[in-house]
Amino acid sequence: MAHTQTYKIKGMHCASCAGIIEKTFKKKEGVHSVQVNYATETAKVEHDTEKVTPHELSKAIEPLGYSIVVEQTAEQMGMSASEHAAHLGLGQSKQEKLAELAAMKRQLYVALPLAALAAVGMLVEIIPQLVLLLMATYMLFVVGKPYLQGVYRFARYGAANMDTLIGIGTSAAYLYSVAVTVFAAQLDTYINIDNIYFDVTIIVIAFITLGKYLESRSKLKTGDAIEKLLNLQAKTALVLRDGKEVEVPIEQISRGDTIIVKPAGKIPVDGVVVEGSSYVDEAMITGEPMPVVKAAGSTVVGGTLNTSGSFTFRATKVGQETLLAHIIKMVEEAQGSRAPIQALADKISSVFVPVVLVLAFVSLGGWLLVGTSYLGFAQALSFGLVSFVGILVIACPCALGLATPTAIIVGVGKGAKEGILIKDAATLQKLHTVNVVVLDKTGTLTVGKPEVASIQNFSGKKDDAVMALLAALEQKSEHPIAHAVVAHTAAKGISLAAVGAFEALKGKGLKGTIDGVEYFAGNVKLMEDLHLAVDTQALEVQTRAGNTPVFLAAKDKLLALVTVADTLKDNATDAVARLHKLGVKVVMLTGDDKNTASYIANLVGIDEVVAEVMPEDKLNVIKRLQAEGKIVAMAGDGVNDAPALAQADVGIAMSTGTDVAIETAGITLLGGDISKLVKAIALSKITMRGIKQNLFWAFAYNVVGIPLAGGLFYPVFGWLLSPAFAGLAMAFSSVSVVGNSLRIKAKKI
């Protein structure tokens, strides 16, 4: 049975490691697809669990120096879900990383002073060769042990990575220098015995170890969004049990439990307030800085912080059902996903190491074949060895491998902090090209909580009686307009009759039987289907004022016209203006009356209005825009918008409360805040700009560095790069890419 699982991989040191692991996994029977991410050190594998197990996958890569962290389930270990997450999730990973950093730091305490001493020796030649030999031996066989292991695995299994390149380069410099030192008398006739390269071995290994340390430390910072989200989770909760307040671990909370929240306390799980009121800080979930008032009937979200008041609520979602758990899962998956722009870098990284090995040997051969004629064998060999080592050291694919995923990790994490949930890297990349945004009206541009504005009664009955009939029908609907009608009657204490034979009429309204009479409630289209005349002039006046009409009718008679008005969101006008500044056209797409839609559109500055559309018509409008060559993003609240959201290049769900359409939309905006739509597009542009900068410098670095190290510019300019400087340049290439990605955190969106 096919099963997709993301595994943590231990032992990854460079981008080429990802290619090696992918190739090895793909050779295993039962593996359908593999995506290995160097930045997150994970492998997403789709495999048949009956043909190949995680343990077997791990065994396949262990000889190459890698392994899968095969996690036991919480039940197997007798642990709660939260304890399991803390033990085997990010916490364990971070502890391992911190331990690795500490070990590298201890090595640097010795390696850097030795490198400084070797550098002084290069300049003034005061250090005896024997001392340099001892220093180089320590650096190669102790600090450089991983690189020697890389050479061994290459010789044994044919798998080469960055460690292989460094190992071959530093070993070549070391062995050449040992040979010159030990057999100086015998070699004096053939080569220049004054040229030894112990200092190269020492300095290169020291610089590369420093670079790895700085890179690992920087990579830890890219993933801090997940850590902060995990830290939001409360560890315990006050639960009412048998009339008493009992403090219990969060994993012992069940749906339906009554939970007490005191001032300054964290809300442990999702639920609905049953008693009391307070202001709750939801900033880390929604990105909104102002606390939100919570009273009876309000939804609360696990991980948010109560401020001053106290209240009790009923748990509705616990464990992995909570919004916070969904957010953490979505952010983790998005950060580990692969953006299409990464494909070229991945292809290059996968063949980079063998190509570099060939280039290094070609360079050495070129110096010996061509250089001997002009410089003599001794000098040509010396320059050839410098070029050979320099190419192996400077040509590291890590910067290429880190360019895209580190920016994606930071961008997705920054989005989560702002209440913008991004499904995957491909969506984030696509969003930056969007030039048309299609918006629903109700719940997107407007608050989505309309109120009854006017009642025109044609029935001869009292207004309350008419509203009771309308509300009885509308209480079966989930539409915001229906909620407005029902709320109006509830506020007046009007009782509602039972409805039989209820039926929703797609895009038009609904019908049902009350006390044996069939009633209809809906829009003008429904009245036209019933062949009932309406006062178009009066209707025009109402709709031009921004009111939405709802008709109530029997089969042969119009009974009433009720208008409902919705309030424009405070930031709607500013959001549309900012979209225009980003070069994005804004289209309103709504099933509402065209005059009502035009009224709202004029208020906020919408470019195009498409009103009175059926749900299937919304889909056709998206297709029409795409046929015109537009890249379309659609934002809606999910009511009747699913087909259009799926058709759009980027579907954006305007989520409110704990209703998160994570599975259906490419992007979910928590809190239903349209300003987050602008932030999402701005974030995608900033992230893609960072990726392109990273890729440019990673490519440019290798395009310039390899020929320079190989001595291509020597005949014209006399330039020949010392392997020591090549090591320094390689070490800081990856650090600069990660550092550039981290700059995304500081960008304002």
Residues taking part in catalysis: 440
Tokens of 150: 């890389």
Position 261, amino acid: V
What burial letters (b/e) apply to 473-503, b meaning 16+ CB within 10 Å? bbbebebbbbbbbbbbbeeeeeebeebeeee
Q: Please name which of 221, 305, 284 lies closest in space to residue 294, comparing C-alpha atoms.
A: 305
Query: Distance (Å, rounded) from C-alpha 463 to C-alpha 544?
Result: 24
Contact between residue 322 and residue 270 where contact means Cβ atoms under 8 Å apart? yes
Q: Please name which of 250, 219, 227, 404 lies closest in space to residue 322, comparing C-alpha atoms.
A: 250
Q: Please name which of 343, 326, 371 lies closest in space to residue 233, comparing C-alpha atoms.
A: 326
Tokens of 219: 């990579």
Query: Which strand (E) or helix (H) includes residue 362?
Result: helix 342-366
Q: Please name which of 618, 625, 609 lies closest in space to residue 646, comparing C-alpha atoms.
A: 618
Tokens of 12: 């990854």
Please tell me the number of Cα atoms within 13 Å of 606 on its side-chain side: 23
- Concatenate the DSSP letters of all residues of 544-560 into one string: HTTPEEEEEEESS-EEE
Place of tokens 């500081």: 746
Query: Distance (Å, rounded) from C-alpha 660 to C-alpha 330?
Result: 11
Tokens of 554: 């029997």
Query: HEC string of 670-712?
Result: ECCCCHHHHHHHHHHHHHHHHHHHHHHHHHHHHHHHHHHHHCC
Query: Could you tell me where the beta strands, DSSP code E, fall in 533-649?
Result: 548-554, 558-565, 585-589, 608-610, 632-636
Query: Distance (Å, rounded) from C-alpha 710 to C-alpha 718?
Result: 12
Q: How far is CA 69 from CA 36, 53, 66, in A?
A: 14, 13, 10
Burial (CB < 10 A; 0-12, 13-18, 19+), residue 569, is buried
Torsions phi, psi for 684 (to 5 deg) = -65, -40
Outline where 418-535 has alpha helix (H). Answer: 425-431, 463-474, 480-492, 524-529
Query: Distance (Å, rounded) from C-alpha 238 to C-alpha 644?
Result: 44
- The DSSP bridge partners found for residue 280 are 292, 306
Q: Which residues contact 747 (CB under 8 A, 6 or more apart)?
A: 414, 686
Position 629, amino acid: G
